[in-house]
């Protein structure tokens, strides 16, 4: 299966990097099976870093083999278990430590707002999950351990170029 990583650099050799931000699934190397989502990530990173460069790194992911050899958790829906998982990671608890790979919905801007409303107590868990179920969610695949990166093999990259203002 092809998976993608959008950035302002080409990533031929993924690494587990610590982030200065609390992320949905904890620290690691984030990818997605949705090409459009990865392109959006490349655009955001390019803007954030003000580089003007956008690249899509493409990998082969042997998920069947990984499932036999690694400890993987997969969330298919933004349910209560997923909400608990991401809010714990975002608060710095790093509960993803016990997993080599974490797969599940990504909290985009609309989803992020709902999660924030839940985290701050404006919404209860039931109402937050109800709102999340109507959102169109893309997935993210986090490679959390060094041994998991063996299953993420670089294939090629695409230069997404610089968008013109015209």
Q: How many domains does the chain have?
A: 1
- On whether residue 117 sits in a domain, the answer given is yes
pLDDT, tens digit, for every residue of 36-52?
989 988 998 999 899 99
141 contacts 23 by C-beta, under 8 angstroms: no
- On whether residue 71 sits in a domain, the answer given is yes
Question: In terms of residue numbers, what domain contains 127?
Answer: 2-158
| Stated pTM of the model | 0.84
* CA distance linking residue 54 with residue 74, whole number of Å: 29
- On whether residue 166 sits in a domain, the answer given is no
- 3-class secondary structure, 116: helix
Q: Residue 98 has what pLDDT?
A: 82
- On whether residue 85 sits in a domain, the answer given is yes
Q: Residue 95 has what pLDDT?
A: 67
- On whether residue 163 sits in a domain, the answer given is no
Counting Cβ atoms within 10 Å, is residue 116 exposed (0-12), middle (13-18) or buried (19+)? middle
Tell me the two tokens of residue 74: 């997969």
pLDDT, tens digit, for every residue of 72-114?
999 988 888 888 888 888 777 766 678 999 999 876 656 777 8
pLDDT, tens digit, for every residue of 53-83?
999 999 999 999 999 999 999 998 888 888 8
């Amino acid at each position: 299966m092809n998976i993608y990583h959008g950035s302002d650099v080409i990533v031929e050799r993924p690494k587990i990097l610590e982030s200065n931000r609390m992320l949905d699934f904890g620290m690691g190397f984030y990818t997605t099976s949705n090409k459009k989502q990865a392109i959006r990530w490349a655009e955001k990173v390019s803007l954030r870093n003000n580089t003007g460069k956008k690249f899509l790194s493409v990998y082969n992911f042997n998920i069947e083999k990984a499932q036999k050899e690694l400890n993987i958790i997969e969330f298919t829906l933004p349910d209560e278990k997923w909400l608990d998982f991401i809010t714990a990671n975002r608060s710095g608890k790093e509960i993803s430590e016990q997993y080599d790979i974490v797969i599940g919905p990504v909290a985009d801007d609309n989803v992020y707002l709902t999660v924030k409303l839940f985290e701050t107590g404006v919404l209860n868990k039931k109402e937050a999950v109800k709102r999340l179920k109507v959102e169109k969610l893309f997935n993210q695949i986090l490679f959390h351990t060094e041994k998991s990166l063996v299953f993420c093999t670089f294939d090629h990259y695409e230069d997404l170029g610089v968008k013109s203002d015209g």
